[in-house]
Amino acid sequence: NFMLTQPHSVSESPGKTVTISCTRSSGSFASNYVQWYQQRPGCAPTTVIYEDNQRPSGVPDRFSGSIDSSSNSASLTISGLKTEDEADYYCQSYDSSNRGVFGGGTKLTVL
Partner 1 sequence: QLQLQESGPGLVKPSETLSLTCTVSGGSISSSSYYWGWIRQPPGKGLEWIGSIYYSGSTYYNPSLKSRVTISVDTSKNQFSLKLSSVTAADTAVYYCARRIYCTNGVCYPGYFDYWGQGTLVTVSS
Are residues 6 and 105 in contact, defined by beta-carbon separation less than 8 angstroms?
Answer: yes
Nearer to partner 1 by C-beta: 29 or 90?
90
Residue type, 59: V
The dihedral formed by the CA atoms of 90, 10, 18 and 62, expressed in degrees to the nearest 10: 40
Query: Binding partner 1 by CB under 8 A: which of 11, 15, 51, 60?
Result: 51
Contact between 66 and partner 1 per CB under 8 A: no
Residue 38, classified by CB atoms within 10 Å of its CB into exposed (0-12), middle (13-18) or buried (19+), is buried
Query: Binding partner 1 by CB under 8 A: which of 23, 45, 65, 75?
Result: 45
d(CA 80, CA 102): 26
Residue 33 C-beta: closest distance to partner 1, Å = 7
Are residues 63 and 47 in contact, defined by beta-carbon separation less than 8 angstroms?
Answer: no
Query: Binding partner 1 by CB under 8 A: which of 19, 53, 77, 102?
Result: 102
Nearer to partner 1 by C-beta: 17 or 95?
95
Contact set with partner 1 (CB under 8 A): 1, 32-33, 35, 37, 39, 44-47, 50-51, 56, 88, 90, 92, 94, 97-105
